[in-house]
Amino acid sequence: MSMRGARRPGGPTTRLAIRADLLDFTADPGWSAADDAPGLRYRADHWLLVEDGRVAGVQPGAPDASWQRQDHMGRLLMPGFVDTHVHMPQLEVIASYGAELLEWLNTYTFPAERRYADATVCEAGAQRFLDALLAHGTTSAVVFPTVHPGSADALFAAAQQRGMRVIAGQCLMDRHAPADLTVAVERAEADSEALIARWHGRDRLAYAVTVRFAPTSTDAQLAMAGRLLARHDGLYMQTHVAENRAELAWVAELFPNARSYLDVYARHGLLGTRSVLAHGIWLDATDRDALARSRSQIAHSPSSNLFLGSGLMPWRAHEDAGVPVSLATDVGGGTSLAMLRTLADAYKVQALQHVRLPAWKALYTATRGAAHALGLDSEIGSFDTGCTADLALWDWAHGSVAIARDDAARTLHERVFAWMTLADERNLQATWVAGQPLYRTPETTT
């Protein structure tokens, strides 16, 4: 259940101690499935200490009575997940039947996004969306609103209310979309400047220049997006790239002077250390080199890629070329906000390419790895002292089949991999943001 009204940080000193099995990472564990994989940090039956919303330490024994103690022995505590690509307005079209990418946009996405011209829809949608993230163990996200400035305002306001780390921005489209979902370059630039002034760097919020994808932006709008990035320090950029073969062919027609789909963005100054490009399935070696040199990341969206039939993202090829990879639900093309379901699908996508994705690599990428790719690893994604206490508490197993599988596990990786594969939001017991309880199942004691 939502606990939206919980006190946010800034009041009297709070000291919280949580007992559980603690799992996080100090570094990228690579592709090892060993229980002693580098970067893996597993501390069974320890206490996580949280003071004033930040991690204050970890210890094996119970702290003194000055700490508010919550005993969840036998449960798993992890940093909250980081979803690097998700669409706020698409919850109502999740699990829609029978379309590839371009048909999906016209049949389902654009009609849903039209509704966000209404301020009441924006507010209700933002509240529902963020509460749903928390109810799936996700505490930070890179989010697409709609072209309506009010949708970004509502999302930022709702995230600020909850104290969440959210990166978002007005969606930019000025062609090849319904007229009421396109915004002229000058107007979009003015809207973006106003939103940046209101929200960028405020509390735990950051602004992302949000290009829908190359086909729905003219060169003039892409150039404007590049100007915004050059003009303001610390902005992010988010868009889609190389998701679908029909999309690639369309981009080639629209931008005949560009070497590739990715090159469209590179030519307009949209690649950089804060650039998040969703999908990245159909890229070549030259594209990968450009991504690696710019330190732009690919937000791998396996559930969406499978559901829409888009293709299999070559994770190892990207990583071997030096391209950062994060993980994303991409709802509504993806079929669940649960990052655990996304990780299970990521394993299947890699298995189809004869690559085995260890639990350690998957979980690192959805926590500290995503934080590192976003330049936020001093704030989120781990239990390092001083990090913001964004936390998710999980049952190791839910239901008789999963309990039997958990009991049969012989190694730590076997246990964690079975949990990652079989678990979903029903395993989630509680979610904290900056040390404040914002979600818990009705039966969980806090």
What are the pLDDT digits (tens) for 314-358?
A: 999 999 999 999 999 999 899 999 999 999 999 999 999 999 999
Bridge-partner residues for 278, per DSSP? 240, 299
Tens of pLDDT along 24-70? Answer: 999 999 999 999 999 999 999 999 999 999 999 999 999 999 999 99
Radius of gyration over alpha carbons of the chain, in Å?
Answer: 21
Helix/strand/coil for 82: strand
Region 345-372: mean pLDDT is 98
Phi, psi of 394 (to 5 degrees): -125, 145
Region of poorest pLDDT, from 146-150, 185-189, 441-445: 441-445
Beta strands 428-433 and 436-440: pairing type?
Answer: antiparallel
58, 136, 141, 200, 293 from 204: Cα distances, Å = 24, 20, 11, 9, 28
What is the DSSP secondary structure assignment for residue 180, as one 8-state letter?
G
Please report which helix (H) or strand (E) contains residue 39, including its range.
none
Q: Is the peptide bond before 435 cis (omega within 30 degrees of 0)?
A: no
The amino acid at residue 249 is A
What is the residue whose two structure tokens read 């979309």? 177
State yes or no: pLDDT of 12 exceeds 70.
no
| Pair of tokens at residue 284 | 């070549």
State yes or no: pLDDT of 161 exceeds 70.
yes
Rounded Cα distance between 127 and 133, Å, is: 10
Share of the chain above pLDDT 70, in %: 96
Distance from the Cα of residue 308 to its chain's centroid: 19
- pLDDT-based confidence at 99, cuts 50/70/90? confident
Check: CB of residue 373 under 8 Å from CB of residue 331: no
pLDDT for the residue numbered 149: 97
State yes or no: pLDDT of 444 exceeds 80.
no
- pLDDT-based confidence at 103, cuts 50/70/90? confident
pLDDT for the residue numbered 96: 86
> What is the CATH number assigned to the segment(s) 15-78+385-440?
2.30.40.10
Helix/strand/coil for 188: helix
Check: CB of residue 50 under 8 Å from CB of residue 446: no
State yes or no: pLDDT of 369 exceeds 80.
yes
State yes or no: pLDDT of 7 exceeds 60.
no
Region 234-248: mean pLDDT is 96
State yes or no: pLDDT of 9 exceeds 50.
no
State yes or no: pLDDT of 10 exceeds 60.
no
What is the DSSP secondary structure assignment for residue 69, as one 8-state letter?
E
State yes or no: pLDDT of 122 exceeds 60.
yes
Return the closest-CA partner of residue 340 out of 370, 307, 302: 302
Check: CB of residue 303 under 8 Å from CB of residue 329: yes
Q: How many residues does the chain have?
A: 446
pLDDT for the residue numbered 105: 83
Check: CB of residue 178 under 8 Å from CB of residue 202: no
Please report which helix (H) or strand (E) contains residue 67, including its range.
none
Q: Is the dihedral of CA 420, 426, 428, 432 positive or negative?
A: positive
What is the DSSP secondary structure assignment for residue 398, as one 8-state letter?
-
- pLDDT-based confidence at 445, cuts 50/70/90? low
Check: CB of residue 47 under 8 Å from CB of residue 18: yes
Return the closest-CA partner of residue 333 out of 87, 133, 126, 84: 87
Choice between 433 and 94, residue whose per-residue pLDDT is larger = 433
Region 277-301: mean pLDDT is 98
Share of the chain above pLDDT 90, in %: 90
The amino acid at residue 175 is R
What is the DSSP secondary structure assignment for residue 199, as one 8-state letter?
H
| Pair of tokens at residue 171 | 């969606």
List, in sequence order, the alpha helices (H) in 255-301.
261-267, 285-294
What is the residue whose two structure tokens read 């599988």? 405
Beta strands 297-300 and 275-279: pairing type?
Answer: parallel
- pLDDT-based confidence at 1, cuts 50/70/90? low
State yes or no: pLDDT of 402 exceeds 50.
yes
What mean pLDDT, rounded, does the chain reach?
A: 95
CATH architecture of 81-337: Alpha-Beta Barrel (3.20)
Rounded Cα distance between 13 and 419, Å, is: 35
Domain edges within the chain? 15-78+385-440, 81-337
Check: CB of residue 200 under 8 Å from CB of residue 232: yes
Check: CB of residue 1 under 8 Å from CB of residue 443: no
The packing angle between helices 400-408 and 412-422, to 10°, is 160
pLDDT for the residue numbered 11: 52
- pLDDT-based confidence at 101, cuts 50/70/90? confident
